[in-house]
Chain A
Amino acid sequence: MKREVRFAEIAVVGGGPAGLCAALEAARAGARVVLLDRQDHLGGQLIKQTHRFFGSKSHRASQRGFKIAEALTREVASHPAVEVHTGATVFGFYEDGVLGVEQKGRVFYLKPARVIVATGAAERTLAFPNNDLPGIYGAGAVQTLVNVYGILPGRRVLMVGAGNIGVIVSYQLLQAGMEVAAIVEAAPVIGAYWVHAAKVRRAGVPIYTSHTIKEAYGKREVEGAVIWQLDGDGKPIPGTEKDLAVDTICLSVGLSPLIELLAQAGCRLAYVPELGGHVPLRDENLQTTVPGVYVAGDAAGVEEASAAMMEGALAGLHAAYSLGYGQQDYEARRAAIREQLEALRSGPVGEKIRRGLSKAIIQL
């Protein structure tokens, strides 16, 4: 079969906050960019985030996530040097540096001089009896259902996991009119920012730390869940079971970086639990061990949108620079982004990320 290969300067795979900022930064430096996303809308995770974001005011904090996505999408769409393809899934990264793209049933190939992979992360799930009953979802999937499509998955939900995502999605399910029976968290402490936990708690949602789901039950769909307490070693304590009548169970037990394309490209990977699992090794500019291949955002390590935007910008800036663009402003711009990124990660809640990055960032 004859395959048609198009050439490009910079291809960005994934149009979430990381990809959008990578494309913008590279285009502003003067490079021509092809931005590919498999969804029909740019914005990635942000399009379903109806809450106000943390971070620094100078970086859109206090704005709602979907508004940030709208603003970035507008900027990208109006930049003449960015060619946007939505509904375009990159299905393979071949040895010769060629990307295979499927768009609305049609396949084309792209050979970019630089590739920035910003594919985000996938939700993890949990093994427990009857976990295949209808009514059990990933928290992110439920957030899409409720906030993007306006569909309630049920009436009463058990949330498993009290990280930021579990707690924020619980809050949004309350806003949508569902009852949240409880949030359970296997760890002895809540992972979410305390202000988030406090706001669901005062709305009447109990949070049980050192607890997990024992099983789901129901004939054809979820009719309830049994939770139980864990001891200091994380072992369940028989006799502590509580039965909750719920028709929906949401799992919010972490994300794993989507690194398949990077693995195909031959990037060296390392297992870094602090970053969510296998991640590509890379240098300070987000360039992986394969020259010309960059990573940014949750695909580089699960963190958050502000960090994803800054990583995207750093990768875009360097990719353009390495092609000869933006030589004059490069150092100043790079220093400014890095300073903001460091400020974001410098506090106590950034400790885990810093630990993870120290294992993933190498000198190339």
Chain B
Amino acid sequence: MLPVDGIPTPEDIMAKMPPPERLARGPVVMVECFQQIPCDPCTHACPRQAILPMKDINEIPRVDYEKCNGCGQCISVCPGLALFVVDLTYSEEEALVKLPYEFLPLPAEGQVVAGLNRAGEEVCPARVVKVVATEKMDKTAVIWLAVPKNMAMEVRHLKVKPRGTTVICRCEDVTLEEIEHLIKVEGVRTLEEIKRLKRCGMGPCQGRTCLPLIAREIYRLCGTEPDSLAWPTYRPPVIPLKLGVLAGGGSDDAQA
């Protein structure tokens, strides 16, 4: 219960739910503000005046759901971080939740993060569809999360998964989690792609350390046969050389 542990009850949430017919028509705001407090910025934030004006600033905000188009502009204005937008029509399997986020680092678009419920428990993986963080929003970013449809009314926060401590590429500082993400989520299948996306193989070791490790992950996760996996092109120099040496054709140390 909110006053006892900070978690709204299912009844609290029911009372804040937009009408089902409106939810069925696309993105719409959900105002999770449950207490009469002296606060009114939300009522000034909506360009369509969907959050209704208050006579007294202690009123609980009310919404005209017909006026709301789910744009999400109001989200970053609320000091209580109590405004969300839910879109149940986002795709066949997924719903979209737009939520306020004030932590660094911001997640990247495309990244898979943990979706947290109102009790702070991880309930599902969530894919970052968009990160909106303009100057005007003054450091309250709005994150668009794609979540399984049945989680649309559950996910209200996110956790960026730690980057992990198993390093695959020491030159470019790339971890196992990042490689796994590229393969499992982004659908990357070749060493060449990983080299271009993460620079693995382009550092001082020229791929001696990382490429075999990455290849092993591709075999493991995709079932690729070792001899069917193309190795990136080896270009000279095969070990790092000073540019001066290459350009001058001799040793610049000798001249110094």
Chain A residues with CB under 8 Å of chain B are 51-57, 61-62, 64, 174-175, 188-190, 193-209, 306, 343-350
Given contacts A53-B79, A195-B79, 19 further A-B contacts (CB under 8 A): A52-B41, A52-B78, A55-B38, A55-B57, A57-B41, A57-B43, A198-B2, A198-B8, A198-B32, A202-B120, A208-B5, A209-B3, A306-B38, A343-B57, A343-B58, A347-B56, A348-B58, A349-B37, A350-B58
A51's closest neighbor in chain B, by CB? B79
User: Which of B20-28, B111-119, B168-176, B213-221 lines the interface with chain A?
Assistant: B111-119
A61's closest neighbor in chain B, by CB? B41
Q: How far is the CB of B12 from chain A (nearest CB, A)?
A: 9
CB distance A202 to B35 under 8 Å? Answer: no
Interface residues of B in 98-120 (CB under 8 A from A): 102-104, 116-120
Residue B39 at the chain A interface, CB threshold 8 Å: yes
CB distance A202 to B40 under 8 Å? Answer: no
Residue in B8, B43, B80, B159 whose beta carbon sits within 8 Å of that of A193 in the complex? B80
CB distance B38 to A54 under 8 Å? Answer: yes
CB distance A56 to B38 under 8 Å? Answer: yes
B139's closest neighbor in chain A, by CB? A64
Residue B33 at the chain A interface, CB threshold 8 Å: yes
Residue B6 at the chain A interface, CB threshold 8 Å: yes
CB distance B37 to A347 under 8 Å? Answer: yes
Residue in B5, B35, B41, B77 whose beta carbon sits within 8 Å of that of A195 in the complex? B35
What count of chain B residues pass the 8 Å CB interface test? 43
CB distance B41 to A194 under 8 Å? Answer: no
The distance in angstroms between the C-alpha atoms of A350 and B36, with both chains bound, is 10
CB distance A201 to B4 under 8 Å? Answer: no
A-side contacts of B80, CB under 8 Å: 54, 193, 195-196, 198-199
Q: How far is the CB of A27 from chain B (nearest CB, A)?
A: 28
The distance in angstroms between the C-alpha atoms of A188 and B1, with both chains bound, is 12
Can you pick out 10 interface pairs between chain A and chain B where the beta carbons lie within 8 Å of each other? A56-B39, A56-B57, A175-B104, A194-B35, A195-B80, A198-B2, A198-B8, A198-B32, A199-B80, A202-B118
CB distance B81 to A195 under 8 Å? Answer: yes
A-side contacts of B135, CB under 8 Å: none
Q: Which of B57, B104, B140 has the most CB of A within 10 A?
A: B57
With contacts A62-B77, A203-B120, A204-B116 known, is A194 near B6, CB below 8 A? yes
Q: How far is the CB of B234 from chain A (nearest CB, A)?
A: 42
The distance in angstroms between the C-alpha atoms of A215 and B8, with both chains bound, is 31
CB distance B116 to A202 under 8 Å? Answer: yes
Secondary structure at chain B's binding surface: helix, strand, loop or mixed? loop
Q: How far is the CB of B238 from chain A (nearest CB, A)?
A: 42
B-side contacts of A189, CB under 8 Å: 3-4
Q: Which of A174, A195, A207, A209 has the most CB of B within 10 A?
A: A195
The distance in angstroms between the C-alpha atoms of A13 and B34, with both chains bound, is 39
CB distance B41 to A62 under 8 Å? Answer: yes
CB distance B4 to A52 under 8 Å? Answer: no
B-side contacts of A195, CB under 8 Å: 32-35, 37, 78-82
Interface residues of B in 45-91 (CB under 8 A from A): 45, 56-58, 77-82
Q: How far is the CB of A80 from chain B (nearest CB, A)?
A: 31
The distance in angstroms between the C-alpha atoms of A15 and B3, with both chains bound, is 35
The distance in angstroms between the C-alpha atoms of A193 and B38, with both chains bound, is 10
Residue B7 at the chain A interface, CB threshold 8 Å: yes
Residue in B32, B37, B118, B121 whose beta carbon sits within 8 Å of that of A54 in the complex? B37
CB distance A193 to B37 under 8 Å? Answer: yes
- The 0/1 profile, CB within 8 Å of A marked 1, for residues 125-166 of chain B is 000000000000010100000000000000011010000000
The distance in angstroms between the C-alpha atoms of A348 and B59, with both chains bound, is 10
A-side contacts of B116, CB under 8 Å: 202-204
A195's closest neighbor in chain B, by CB? B80
The distance in angstroms between the C-alpha atoms of A51 and B41, with both chains bound, is 14
CB distance A174 to B103 under 8 Å? Answer: yes
CB distance A347 to B157 under 8 Å? Answer: no
CB distance A55 to B120 under 8 Å? Answer: no
The distance in angstroms between the C-alpha atoms of A198 and B9, with both chains bound, is 11
CB distance A346 to B56 under 8 Å? Answer: yes
A-side contacts of B79, CB under 8 Å: 51-54, 61-62, 195
Residue in B35, B45, B56 whose beta carbon sits within 8 Å of that of A343 in the complex? B56
Q: How far is the CB of A176 from chain B (nearest CB, A)?
A: 10
With contacts A64-B138, A201-B6, A201-B7 known, is A349 near B36, CB below 8 A? yes
Q: How far is the CB of B102 from chain A (nearest CB, A)?
A: 6
B-side contacts of A203, CB under 8 Å: 116, 120, 157
Residue B44 at the chain A interface, CB threshold 8 Å: yes
B-side contacts of A198, CB under 8 Å: 2, 6-8, 32, 80, 82, 118
B-side contacts of A196, CB under 8 Å: 80
CB distance A207 to B6 under 8 Å? Answer: yes
B-side contacts of A349, CB under 8 Å: 35-38, 58
Q: How far is the CB of B150 from chain A (nearest CB, A)?
A: 18
The distance in angstroms between the C-alpha atoms of A207 and B37, with both chains bound, is 21
A350's closest neighbor in chain B, by CB? B38
B-side contacts of A209, CB under 8 Å: 3-5
A-side contacts of B37, CB under 8 Å: 54, 193, 195, 347, 349
The distance in angstroms between the C-alpha atoms of A51 and B56, with both chains bound, is 23
Residue in A52, A57, A190, A346 whose beta carbon sits within 8 Å of that of B40 in the complex? A57
